[in-house]
A and B are shown apart, each in its own frame.
Chain A
Amino acid sequence: MSIAYDQTLDVKGARCPMPLVKSRKAVNELPVGQVLRVVATDRGSVADFQGWVKTARNVELLAQETVNEGGQELFVHYLKRTA
């Protein structure tokens, strides 16, 4: 998957709801239109991010992917600040 992004937030090892809380804070500091790439190890973050963007007013979930890095499963989320 090739998605352009402006910043990366590493939340590997963080437990729910920490990945979402950190992502919300990071998105709020992004300029409108920019994309944040979030890298998590929490499998539940996939559904959590999908649920969050249904109610969030200023963020769009562009894509999600699962990648394997050195035997570790990573869950990557691409978030665009829209307002």
Chain B
Amino acid sequence: MTNELPCGALQQRTASAALLSYAVTPEVLLAAQPQPEDWAKLVEAGYTTVINLRSDPERSAIEQRNAEAAGLRYFHRPWPAYELEREHVDELAELIEAPDAGRVVFHCRSATRVGLMWLLYRQLHHGWSRERAEAELRTAGYDDDSLETFGFCADDYFERAREHVT
């Protein structure tokens, strides 16, 4: 469940491959792109809500039909992971912390962007240190390359946030 793949390699995944995913908490699963057959499996595993970070609206419309047919609540939130703002992390927090959210699957293409947003969510909404947030992601199975990506992009976020303030 936690084998990381390079972004491009995801194109090679077969329909029967296990969903690349990282359970950061019992309630939240960070995942790569689920395949159609994954939705029923996620429902069986107790997940109730899907948040899709990917930008493509046509792909999302198809995904929404499949996910809702399996019994999942579906939210398409194409936040720009390359230029995140506080409002995007706040909106993620609202969705995850909503009383009716249940267990949440938060996915993008390769599970990297959602990992970055989770790190920022922990720092901004729970007051966690970078080290603590990274440790949680590492425990969930993210590798060194992923952590390097999270660190670089999180630094960029906080640099831009400081520029907005000054």
The answer, yes or no, to whether A55 is at the interface (CB within 8 Å) is yes
Q: Are B55 and A15 in contact (CB under 8 A)?
A: no
Q: How large is the interface on A (under 10, 10 to 19, 20 to 34, 35 or more residues)?
A: 20 to 34
Q: Are A24 and B82 in contact (CB under 8 A)?
A: yes
Report which of A15, A25, A52 forms a contact with B112, defined as CB distance below 8 A. A15
Number of A-B contacts (CB under 8 A): 59
Interface residues on chain B, number (Cβ under 8 Å)? 22
B6-14, B41-49, B96-104 - interface stretch: B6-14
A17 to chain B, nearest CB (A): 4
B interface vs A, CB < 8 Å?
6-8, 11, 55-56, 80-83, 108-110, 112-113, 116, 145-146, 149, 152-153, 156
Q: List 27 A-B contacts (CB under 8 A).
A: A14-B149, A15-B6, A15-B112, A15-B146, A15-B149, A16-B7, A16-B81, A17-B113, A17-B116, A17-B149, A18-B152, A18-B153, A20-B82, A20-B83, A21-B156, A22-B152, A24-B82, A24-B83, A42-B7, A43-B7, A43-B8, A43-B11, A44-B7, A44-B8, A44-B109, A51-B55, A73-B8
